[in-house]
Structure 1
Amino acid sequence: MRYAATSEIVAIRLSEGEDVRSCIARVCEENNIDSAVVVGGVGMLRDVTFGWFNGNEYVTKEYGEVFELLALSGNVSIKDQALYPHLHGALSKPDHSVVGGHLLRAVADHNVELFLKPLNTISLARKFDGWFDAILPLKRE
């Protein structure tokens, strides 16, 4: 993984075999970023697990094939006192059909480029609201 980070933007380049969520968390930790918006990403992914929250748990579906990353969105917040990348993605198969959802796991296949916008005036935390750990945005003092 290679990256450059400023208060304005973080550009991350993942290489073959690197896990998307753990790399985002590591970059944020190394740069003291506790809240960010995932602006987007492009590249190729494999070993993908999507989740669908049914109100009690995530129902998961795993894919072992290689996909092109069409869209990536989400945020980084604090959940249970740890950095939590909350990601959603849309991925294309070779036949141009698309799968997507809550991205629980994804591994870079050769190359992935990600962009994050650190939040300096707002902090994002997660708090259980009776259904799930919902985002709790707060203005920083």
Structure 2
Amino acid sequence: MRYSLTDELFALRLTEGEELHASIAKACQEYHCDSAVVLGGLGMVRNVTFGWFTGTEYLTEVHDEIFELSALSGDVSYKDDTLYPHLHMVVNRRDHSVLGGHCLRAVVDHNMEVFLKPVHSIQFRREFDGWFAALAPAKR
């Protein structure tokens, strides 16, 4: 993984076999970036796990295929004292059929570029709201 950060942009280049969520969390932790908006990403992924929250649990669906990453969005916040990348993605197969949703896991196939916007004036954290751990932004 290679990355660079300015006040306005955090650019990551992930390589073969790296796990998307863990890589984002590690880079943010090393640069003391505890709150960010995921602007987008592109590249190739495999072993993608999507989740659908029922209100009590995530129903998961694992796709052990290679996909092109078509869209990536989300945020980075604190959840239970741990950096938590909350990601949604759209991926496409070779025939251009697509899958998308809440991404719980994805492994980089070949390479991926991810772009984040660090947030300095607000701290993102997650608090249980009676249903799930929802985003609770607070001024610093």
Looking at structure 2, the residues matched to 125 and 109 of structure 1 have their Cα atoms a distance apart, in angstroms, of 30
Q: Structure 1 length normalisation: TM-score?
A: 0.98
Looking at structure 2, the residues matched to 85 and 11 of structure 1 have their Cα atoms a distance apart, in angstroms, of 15
In structure 2, the residue matched to 1:47 is 47
Give 1:8 shift: 1.1
Q: Percent identity?
A: 59
Give 1:60 shift: 0.2
In structure 2, the residue matched to 1:97 is 97
Looking at structure 2, the residues matched to 40 and 139 of structure 1 have their Cα atoms a distance apart, in angstroms, of 25
Give CA deviations for 1:114-141 in whole Å, capped at 9, x if unaligned. 001000001101000000000001111x
Q: Structure 2 length normalisation: TM-score?
A: 0.99
In structure 2, the residue matched to 1:3 is 3
Looking at structure 1, the residues matched to 92 and 127 of structure 2 have their Cα atoms a distance apart, in angstroms, of 33
In structure 2, the residue matched to 1:72 is 72
Give 1:108 shift: 0.5
SS in 1 for 2:65: coil
Structure 1: tracts of 5 or more residues without a match? none
Runs of 4 or more off by more than 6 Å in structure 1? none
- Matched to 2:26, the amino acid is R
In structure 2, the residue matched to 1:122 is 122
In structure 2, the residue matched to 1:139 is 139
Aligned pair count reads 140
Cα RMSD after superposing both structures? 0.5
- Matched to 1:61, the amino acid is E
SS in 2 for 1:94: coil
- Matched to 2:108, the amino acid is A
Structure 2: tracts of 5 or more residues without a match? none
Looking at structure 2, the residues matched to 84 and 9 of structure 1 have their Cα atoms a distance apart, in angstroms, of 19
